[in-house]
A and B are shown apart, each in its own frame.
Chain A
Amino acid sequence: MTAPEMLARCRTILDESSAGYWTDAEIYSALSDGQNAIINAVWSAWDKKTQIAEIEVPVVLRPLQTVVVNLAFGTTGTTSVALPADFAYDLHVEYDDNADAPIASFKRGESKNRKFSSENTYLHSTQAQYYHYFDGANLNFETAISGTGAYRLTYLKKPTDIASGVAPAIGFEAHKAIVYYAVTMMLFKDKSPDAMNIFQMYINELKDLI
């Protein structure tokens, strides 16, 4: 569905063919919220599952998959690089501290014991086993660059908000769920008891995506 088609679908369900009680901007905003809610829910479920067994990224999230490659960045001593502005969730990182052939790097998230691990003889970052972690705005490498470094970051990007000229960023599989989410929000505004029914339809659609 295109964004205007989604808007039209919402208006059909709401039985308001043109902007009145619910403005177009309001509905587009709810559609964007729906898109984000679906991405977060699908990611969260997938992330938990993938810790138990290796499962590929759900189809619905694939359009958000992005790769950034930088084969010559930083100078000796550099340990971090700013995350892309549209960065949402990391998938994997490859790194090379002194050449342009990045290898898979282990993710060791910030925790109370991260420093102990990074100083352990067997768990510290070396050229044979790189470690990285994320903070709010940066991708950090535990092995500093010597010369120039190289990295490849594969991540899921934040979607652009849905608007009249901006189509949904995720696959068609999720479009119905986005519409149901937006309609639910509009009906909440109206304090309509139907809101819960539509929300249940959203949940049913979401289940199929996870």
Chain B
Amino acid sequence: MATLLELRDEIILSAGIKGNPDFPPTLLNRKINHAQRYVQTELNGLGMKKWETSQSITAGLTAAAYNSSSNNVKKVAVGQTYFLNMLESPKSIIHIETNDSSDPPNYGIAREVPIQNFEESLANTYLVPTTKKPIFIRLSGYVWLAPVGITVATAHYYKAVADLSTDASSTEIPIEFEDFIIKKTVLEIKIMKGEVQDVQLKQAELDKEIQSSYEKFLGKMQEIQRVDITNKGKLS
């Protein structure tokens, strides 16, 4: 995995900006981090496993009243403490593991439900969520979990690629797609320098190149699968 320093140095050479006072390290680092997000977005749905993460949100659980006079849910703020670096797409939270700390604890997997269903579940005696079958919604910067008896929770979600901050930090972008960080940053620099005549065309070419690389990558995966199947055949 390339470090921030390695990426920056390669970009400086590729873009021809050695010693250019308009492209110092701070700006290049910023551009590299933008490019990382671009590559991650282009790879979304392709390599999403890479971006799964989990975090305990127990300490952030607060009892709250949702459309009720008494506390009927737990809520936790989405931000820099909990759900750190979570992608902002609507389905970013995969699910939330919960339990109620009873002896023995009642474990449950909270699933996201539409807001109307959440309200209906809380209001309807027969649909009320239990600690074994909890539910949640995302609303107004919070994750609202029901029932209120949940005391322990671990969230599984998709995170954004972490920004590279120190020269020694390595990119999380898979090694197969690392060069696109460089290509995207170089393109951005050339656009800033006015060296690219047709920006949209160049951008489309880069998108296509990533897509093509991904298809090759998938081809490789299929090949691995084929070999695997062949081997299984031999074993049986």
| Chain B residues within an 8 Å CB radius of A104 | 19
Q: 0/1 per residue, B21-32, Cβ < 8 Å to A?
A: 110111100100
Stretch at the interface among A15-23, A40-48, A124-132, A163-171: A124-132
- Known: A122-B26, A122-B30, A126-B26. Is A131-B18 also a contact (CB below 8 A)? no
Is there an interface contact between A106 and B19, defined as CB atoms closer than 8 Å?
Answer: yes
* Pair B26/A129 contact, Cβ less than 8 Å: yes
Q: List the A side residues contacting B20 at CB < 8 Å.
A: 106
Contact A123 B24 (CB under 8 A): yes
Contacts of A108 in B (CB 8 A): 21
Question: A131 near B19 (CB under 8 angstroms)?
Answer: no
Number of A-B contacts (CB under 8 A): 31
B interface, how many residues as a size bin? 10 to 19
Cβ-defined contact, B18 with A129, below 8 A? no
Q: Identify B21's interface contact among A54, A92, A128, A131, CB under 8 A.
A: A131
- Once the chains bind, are A106 and B18 in contact (CB under 8 Å)? no
Shortest beta-carbon distance from A94 to chain B in Å: 12
Complex CA distance for A91 and B19, rounded to whole angstroms: 12
A107 close to B (CB within 8 Å):
yes
Closest-CB distance, B25 to chain A (whole angstroms): 5
In A18-41, the 8 Å CB interface with B consists of: none
List the A side residues contacting B22 at CB < 8 Å: 117, 123
B27 / chain A contacts, CB cutoff of 8 Å? 122-123
For residue B18, which residues in chain A have a CB less than 8 angstroms away from its CB?
54
Beta-carbon contacts under 8 Å, A148-189 to B: none
Residues of B within 8 A of A106 (CB): 19-21, 24
CB pair B21 A107 closer than 8 Å: yes
CB of A128 within 8 A of CB of B19, answer no
- On whether the beta carbons of B24 and A122 are closer than 8 Å, the reply is yes
Residues in chain B near residue A54, CB distance under 8 A: 18
* Closest CB in chain B relative to A179 CB, distance in Å: 37
- Nearest chain B residue, comparing its CB with the CB of A120: B27
Chain B residues near A122 (CB, 8 Å)?
A: 24, 26-27, 30
The answer to whether B19 touches A123 (Cβ under 8 A) is: no
CA A108 – CA B20 in complex, angstroms?
Answer: 9
CA of A131 to CA of B24, assembled, Å: 10
Shortest distance between the CB of A98 and any CB in chain B (Å): 18
A128 to B166 Cα, complex, angstroms: 11
Q: Separation in Å of the A28 CB from the closest CB of chain B? A: 39
* A117 vs chain B, min Cβ distance (A): 8
**Chain B 122-144 interface mask (CB, 8 Å, partner A; 1/0):** 00000000000000000000000
Cα of A121 to Cα of B29 in the assembled complex, Å: 12
Produce 1/0 per residue, A106-145, CB < 8 A to B: 1110000000010001110010110100000000000000
Tell me which residues across on chain A come within 8 A of B24, comparing CB atoms.
Answer: 106, 122-123, 128-129, 131
Q: Mark A46-80, 1 if CB is under 8 A from B, else 0.
A: 00000000100000000000000000000000000
A102 CB to nearest chain B CB (Å):
15
B30 (CB) vs chain A CBs: closest residue: A122
Residue on B nearest A128 in the bound complex, by CB: B25
Q: Give A106 Cβ to nearest chain B Cβ, in Å.
A: 4
Query: Other CB < 8 Å A-B pairs besides A108-B21, A122-B26, A131-B21, 18 of them?
Result: A54-B18, A106-B20, A106-B21, A106-B24, A107-B21, A122-B24, A122-B30, A123-B21, A123-B22, A123-B24, A123-B26, A123-B27, A126-B26, A128-B24, A128-B25, A128-B26, A129-B26, A131-B24
- In order of increasing CB-CB distance, the 5 nearest A-B pairs are A122-B27, A129-B24, A106-B21, A108-B21, A122-B26
Q: List 11 A-B contacts (CB under 8 A).
A: A92-B19, A106-B21, A107-B21, A117-B22, A122-B24, A122-B26, A122-B30, A123-B21, A128-B24, A129-B25, A129-B26
